[in-house]
A and B are shown apart, each in its own frame.
Chain A
Amino acid sequence: MDFEFFIQQLINGITLGGVYALIALGYTMVYGIIQLINFAHGEFFAAGGYMGVILISYLASQGLHPYACLAIALVLAMGYCALLAMAVEQLAYKPLRNASRLAALLSALGMSIFLQNGLMLTQGVYDKAYPTEITSGGFHWGLISVSYMQIFIVALTASLLVGLNVLVFKTRIGRAMRATAQDKVMSALVGINSNRIIAVTFAIGAGLAAAAGIMVGLYYGSVSYTMGFVPGIKAFAAAVLGGIGNITGAMIGGLIIGMVEIFAAGYISGEYKDVFAFIILIGVLYFKPTGIMGENVDDTRV
């Protein structure tokens, strides 16, 4: 019984951790490239969740197969959030590239509040329910149960993470991103358009966050306009834990934070589960500010 409970928690932890990893990647990539905590990132995640439910309900009403709905909604929501992130970057961050860090940080915070309330005004204050029948059902081994949804989430997360790694480490644009993160002036000298690369980085990060938003919506069955805030901080904690600017670190950090949250909720206290992520964040920053994987300064940093 105890062992089965443990395995069940492990599976839940991997599911949640994968979602946090996806959000954390956006933070870590943006921080790596322009040294800014993108507070609005949690709102991209929420916008992705909303876009998902909007598109899935619309496409389902058009009589499409549920899986086709899900696939199309996923792609479109990721594209939508990429556009949103590029707009936010252009409007609120680009003019402040040479201003003080405090100014950029406050601008990001303002954008976060703005977007959150924009979501509230367009979508209403009540939670929006996700159609759950798409991914109902699952496997059962004794007391352990794995829903199709969890398998779907883990599989999608894994493929997105692999895809991102290929993009960053194997393609031209990935090389340009790494170069810009290392040294903006030098990369500009060899002909890399750093403004474009930064916009692309924001777009990729927001796309991943949108995918995470849809998965959270499917997993918990609803989305709300405030949903971006707490997962945003937790994902940031994950990024810091893994060493900010370090892509592999963010993935591992996300998994750890997800595991800790699930196990703390399962074994210690469900009410204080959010506190543990913050305590980890504070502990890491206090004892090892560069994170477990090290704040990368060599060429793997993006």
Chain B
Amino acid sequence: MTIRESKKKWLACGVGLLWFLILLWPMLGITPDGLEFGNTLKVFGYVAVAALIIMLFYQVQQAGRLEAAERPLKAVGGAIQAAYEKTPTWMVLAVVFALAVIYPLLTGRYAHDVAIQVLVYVCLGLGLNIVIGLAGLLDLGYIAFYGVGAYTYALMSLHFGLSFWLCLPVSAFFAAIAGCIIGYPTLRMRGDYLAIVTLGFGEIVRIILNNWMALTNGPNGILSIPRPEIFGYSFRSLSSMYYVILGIAIVTIISVYRLNYSRIGRAWEAIREDETAAELMGVNTFLLKLLAYAMGATFAGFAGAFFAARMKFVGPESFTFLESAMVLAMVILGGMGSIPGVILGVLALVALPEVFRELELYRMLVFGGVMTLMMLVRPAGIWPAKRVGRRSEEAE
């Protein structure tokens, strides 16, 4: 990089920081008691120092001064990758599976709770991954299906006394029906209209859950939902619930994997890459897009039924748009269309915030920032899917 380019970058950084200060001060500094600067300067100071450090690293790295440090890191990374590629996949999977099985024996209650949350989001993320990653349909109301699943189990078990294991497929079925109902009118729409309409549908479902007092008990939610039982054994403890969701998650992972590499998965990917071309090749785009919605919703329905059983309570507040956005952020961060990517994304966005518990307030701020940042620097995600081409609409 020449000196001139470097100067230009520094200038842009400076202008950006100044702009940020202008935007920040009125929000923090103007109070009815008078103007105030201390707080603003404190926040600005943190941001400015962080920005300058990042900028410095970037400049040094661009100038090639970090190569001495980068080389061993790259060598280690390369060695790990080579080792990973050499070991057979089943061995890796077996180790991961074994770790997942003995996990509750090694850890405490709090860790179980986090792990359950991670696995629930894995199911949700993989379901959304079908819709957005494989079929390329942006769905912003995805959490509605989770809600449908949760309420189905809650109502079925309370009113008809049906067992969890019977309700699980029924919840998934109802969620899939909801997916078809939402999918059917939206399939004629272009990508960005689809986004806003699914968002609208998601809100409609939440408003209905919130206001249909007779069925859903409105904003108070439904209480005392029974835990799953099998042959008289009740899954009361957290660790036993962990095994339930682990089973559901494994089923989800295997099904999504099998779907991905089946005829249907290839057809979805063809639709994602170029819908017109796919239709010309004989892919029934209408039916397959509907199927993508239904399949995505099915997994959300499983996760929803489990969620209701785990919390013993469902309320409309669990199914807001922010929740949809969170699942979406996980899928994007990990890599759309890639199963290990989605799991990594979930781990990054559920487990990491648990580690930095005291920064809880900044969680959604970081989610939003990460979403934009990923699109800017690495749109394919941390662990990109192998089969992704250029979308046809980009050429427009």
Contact = CB atoms under 8 A, between A and B. Distances in A.
Q: Do A and B assemble together?
A: yes
Contact of A37 (B30, B195, B210, B328): B195
Contacts of A83: 19, 22-23
B278 interface: no
A235 to B, nearest CB: 11
Interface in B12-35: 16, 19-20, 22-24, 26-28, 30-35
Contacts of A58: 30-32, 34-35
Given A58-B32, A101-B394, A233-B203, A109 B371 contact: yes
Contacts of A289: 188-189, 193
B196 interface: yes
B200 A102 contact: no
B191 A272 contact: no
B201 interface: yes
Name the residue in B32, B138, B332, B390 with the highest tally of chain A Cβ atoms < 10 Å from its Cβ.
Answer: B32
A191 interface: no
Given A110-B370, A122-B28, A103 B375 contact: yes
Contacts of B325: 109, 113
B203 A100 contact: no
A84 B33 CA distance: 25
B393 A101 contact: yes
Given A233-B199, A285-B193, A92 B372 contact: yes
A102 B23 CA distance: 28
Given A230-B203, A233-B200, A282-B200, A105 B27 contact: no
Q: For this complex, into which size category does the number of interface residues on chain A fall? A: 35 or more
B251 interface: no
Contacts of B192: 35-37, 101, 105
B103 interface: no
Contact of B191 (A96, A102, A107, A279): A102
Contacts of A275: 204, 207-208
Contact of A122 (B27, B207, B210): B27
Interface stretch (A48-56, A153-161, A210-218, A256-264): A48-56
B215 to A, nearest CB: 14
The main secondary structure of chain B at its interface with chain A is helix
B197 interface: yes
Interface string B181-214: 0000110110111011101110110011011000
The main secondary structure of chain A at its interface with chain B is helix
B365 interface: yes
Contact of A117 (B27, B197, B365): B365
B92 interface: no
B138 A102 contact: yes
B196 to A, nearest CB: 6
A80 B25 CA distance: 11
B379 A99 contact: yes
Interface in B206-265: 207-208, 210-211
Contacts of A285: 186, 189, 193, 197
A121 interface: yes
B313 interface: no
* Nearest 5 A/B pairs, CB to CB: A110-B371, A113-B368, A114-B368, A110-B372, A278-B200
Interface of B: 16, 19-20, 22-24, 26-28, 30-35, 136, 138, 140, 185-186, 188-189, 191-193, 195-197, 199-201, 203-204, 207-208, 210-211, 321-322, 325, 328-329, 332, 361-362, 364-365, 367-376, 379, 390-391, 393-394
